[in-house]
Structure 1
């Protein structure tokens, strides 16, 4: 069982797109590595393909993380599955790596990720970000809720199952999830340089009880953590890769840190681990 913010004396550590500093982001290997290294949770971005499948891809286009070209929302799943999603990133231990992992370069669908997490029987904190704007509009959230419902993950936390939180910079997207499935916890993401800005007075939109803050906000105004806490809201922070930032989050009592380097950050937070 993974640790819980209410009983853990340190922030929970969530792997951003998996252990993405070491493995190609959003691949099954990146998530497996993060969990093997002891991460408390995982984070993924989801986009809807042209034929309405949720896939774990951050960018609107596929060029950065695959050998293909085009917009995710305009490509069908079969075409996306033909692409190589790993060769762009060379492993540090590539010279001594064992035989190639047949799944390393495969596109990861959201269903495949949930299947792996559910099968583990672990209560992994699972953060799912919906990406907007997109040509599919509210179909993204509709498909997401349908998928969570298929795995019986739309009714809040339960023993022996992933603890899902849906995140977005779009308040409207979070409101759609809340209407469709009011028991799914929500996270309002806030970026230092992105507008319009959410007021940092500690309040959140109706139905949202967690804020996801850009680490740049904490560096500039660490007092905002206490503002959100005074209103009874949890505080997640991203992307926390540096030791000084991890230590800052711990001092401020942040609930969750989201990082590309889960093992390194855990060592900073718990040196004897």
Structure 2
């Protein structure tokens, strides 16, 4: 087993992590806005990350918090508001470098992702516990089917990845869309050891950078089991180089432009 892990480690360290824009280029633009994701793509992000929630009329929107209070001009719980009500709010001006912006739907973000000339992956996080429970994954998979990305030929070529801290949510996706990559987020020993991911059929694990500083061996162990490692949220140079050194596959960052530059000095 030790020899196998060493060989896996050697192979994986020959390539750098892919850069995933956490809620878009969210350090420079208001999170989950079209402007944040357009800037991330322009900066060379190879993946985009978003959180999705259901509105009262069952529309998937990209909002991290349970309420809109922090990131909009209004107040209220996302699940108690309709899409039309959300569209009346400004989701951009709160940010120091923001401008007025409408709430972003998952359909709009999928369109941007799939229309981009380079292949970009969209990492979609479902939030739990929530009012609508399993309906979130049900409607998410329906939307991914509508865009033709719910049944990729292989996980390696998938344009969408579903991620969640909820094992039940990951299991629902794996059961209904077995070829779609999934990442179980978390910090527990069961996650790092792989037993939690095995139980729900996740194709990857998603520890934080804080955890991977203390448990770098988790990356090789995941790879030895055929799983990718997605690390969040990686904004500092020392952490970026640490992730590259131990063979992390995907790093989520609020600064996609500077992280690409750190990984590829002199890149234009």
TM-score normalized by structure 1? 0.87
Task: Output one character per residue of 1:28-62: Cα deviation in whole Å (capped at 9) or x when no partner.
Answer: 01000000111111000000000000000000011
Pairwise CA distance, 1:157: 5.3
Q: Indicate conservation of the 8 Å contact 1:235/1:255, yes or no.
A: yes
Q: 2:112 aligns with which of 113, 116, 130?
A: 116
Task: Output one character per residue of 1:99-123: Cα deviation in whole Å (capped at 9) or x when no partner.
Answer: x6xxx51110001111122223532
Instruction: Note if 1:183 corresponds to 2:171.
Output: no
Q: Indicate conservation of the 8 Å contact 1:124/1:162, yes or no.
A: no
Instruction: Note if 1:9 corresponds to 2:15.
Output: yes
Any residues of structure 2 matched to 1:150-229 within 5 Å, and which?
150-156=146-152, 163-191=159-187, 198-203=190-195, 204=197, 205-229=199-223
Could you tell which deviates more after superposition, 179-188 or 6-15? Answer: 6-15
TM-score normalized by structure 2? 0.89
Pairwise CA distance, 1:145: 0.4
With over 3 angstroms needed to count, the CA separation of the structure-2 counterparts of 1:21 and 1:131, relative to structure 1, is: same
In structure 2, C-alpha distance between the alignment counterparts of 1:162 and 1:117, rounded to whole Å: 12
Any residues of structure 2 matched to 1:1-273 within 5 Å, and which?
9-91=15-97, 104-156=100-152, 163-191=159-187, 198-203=190-195, 204=197, 205-273=199-267
For structure 1, the 5+ residue unaligned runs are 95-99
In structure 2, C-alpha distance between the alignment counterparts of 1:6 and 1:76, rounded to whole Å: 45
Pairwise CA distance, 1:90: 1.3
Query: Residue 220 of structure 2 aligns to a residue in which SS?
Result: helix
Task: Output one character per residue of 1:137-180: Cα deviation in whole Å (capped at 9) or x when no partner.
Answer: 1110011000000001111258xx97100000001011111222
In structure 1, C-alpha distance between the alignment counterparts of 2:191 and 2:147, rounded to whole Å: 35
Q: Which runs of 4 or more aligned residues in structure 1 lie more than 3 Å from their structure 2 counterparts after TM superposition? A: 5-8
In structure 1, C-alpha distance between the alignment counterparts of 2:58 and 2:27, rounded to whole Å: 29
In structure 1, C-alpha distance between the alignment counterparts of 2:111 and 2:12, rounded to whole Å: 27
Pairwise CA distance, 1:7: 11
RMSD (Å), alpha carbons: 2.0
In structure 1, C-alpha distance between the alignment counterparts of 2:153 and 2:239, rounded to whole Å: 29
Pairwise CA distance, 1:181: 1.6
State how many pairs are aligned: 253
In structure 2, C-alpha distance between the alignment counterparts of 1:189 and 1:23, rounded to whole Å: 25
Pairwise CA distance, 1:207: 2.1
In structure 1, C-alpha distance between the alignment counterparts of 2:224 and 2:121, rounded to whole Å: 24
For structure 2, the 5+ residue unaligned runs are 1-10
With over 3 angstroms needed to count, the CA separation of the structure-2 counterparts of 1:122 and 1:138, relative to structure 1, is: same
